[in-house]
Amino acid sequence: MSSQPRAIVHLENIVANWRTMAALNPKSTTAAVVKANAYGLGAERVTATLAAAGCDTFFVAYPEEGAVVRKAVGTGHAIFILNGPAPSTMHLFRTHGLTAVLSSEAHVALWADARDVPCALHFDTGMNRLGLPTSALETAGDALRAMNPVLVLSHLSCADEPEHPLNAAQLDAFSKVAEAFPGVPASLANSAGCYLGRDYGFQLTRPGIALYGGTTPPARIRLQQAVTLEAEILSVFPVKAGSPIGYNATFTAPHDMLLATVGLGYADGILRSASNCFIGWLDGTPCPVTGRVSMDLITIDVSKAQAAAKAGRRVEFLGPHAKVEDQAARANTISYELLTGLGTRVERFYP
């Protein structure tokens, strides 16, 4: 087997997480957000597995991603393109049976001659990032309804802060949007939005990061880790107290230590901000990162795992011990960035 770092993708856990999220809103359709190559874990395998488990609605950012998902899931599934159409991609919507999410006047104008292809309408209810203004319901409501959208949606900006007042404000604003399109399914809840209660569920929910083991759900909800990221030990060596470690000597050994250098680095998606704070796990023992993360290498303290510290052994950097949210917090980032940043040198395995 290759000595390159590897990501073992636990497809059964992704399905379990999708079912867990679906149980929160049993009267709603639960879609799967699989943009950015299924958050770095492989869109073809992930979507095919979810489709086989009963998921019939998928969201991606670009039509090119949608074409990959269509090939994986076949016909009979809805695939929504969140970033909408462009003149150069109009043909992809027809060719692959994709649904454009229209979020601007330019999108609406572009779609004016594409009435035979389904569309969804995205309204901005307070995030101020992407979406039609809610005022468009007064100025162009009849024209928008005449487009016969198959879905209306918006996006929560603060759902991961349950008590934030903007959640309730966006719910109120979006409820008015949904009322303006009677009989059309509506969607507001992202992963964290699914935890806010069934008022946020409407007819369709859109979990993304939660499918891959991210977010911090309420205590009653348990998500499974979707990936185990492992890298091989290249060398094991002792250092004396006072020895500097790594680029710019940002770590100095406080006492005699046993260190191991692992074949993993920021070219593989382990951020430089993980320097001196990430934890690798060797044989169930936590081994802190010592010194700077470099392009291809990380050094860890294996003083408490000496029996297992051998060249060729693999260290877990994401997985059942190294949970993605915990590692993200250590590196002062978010789980989304860790997963989507996994590099091309990281071999994906699907046991």
How buried is residue 245: exposed, middle or buried, by Cβ count under 10 Å (0-12/13-18/19+)?
Answer: buried
Q: Which DSSP letter does residue 274 get?
A: G
What is the chain's percent helix, strand, coil content, to nearest 5?
Answer: 35, 25, 45
| Alpha-carbon radius of gyration of the chain | 23
Pairing of strands 119-124, 151-153: parallel
Q: Is 72 exposed, middle or buried (0-12, 13-18, 19+ CB in 10 A)?
A: buried
Kindly state the DSSP code that residue 199 receives in the 8-state scheme: G
Active-site option among 71, 247, 266, 310: 247
| ∠ CA 265-271-274, rounded to 5° | 95
d(CA 218, CA 195): 7
- Pairing verdict, β 6-9 and 227-239: antiparallel
Report the SS3 class of residue 168: helix
Q: Is 247 a catalytic residue?
A: yes
**27, 35, 266, 310: the active-site residue:** 35
176 is catalytic: no
Scanning the structure block, which residue is given the tokens 């994401």?
318
Residue written as tokens 């699907």?
Answer: 350
Is residue 7 within 8 A of residue 346, CB to CB? The reply is: yes
Measured from the Cβ of residue 287, the count of other Cβ atoms closer than 10 Å reads: 26
Strand, helix or coil at 301?
A: strand
Element (H, E) at 138: helix 136-145
Catalytic residue numbers?
A: 35, 247
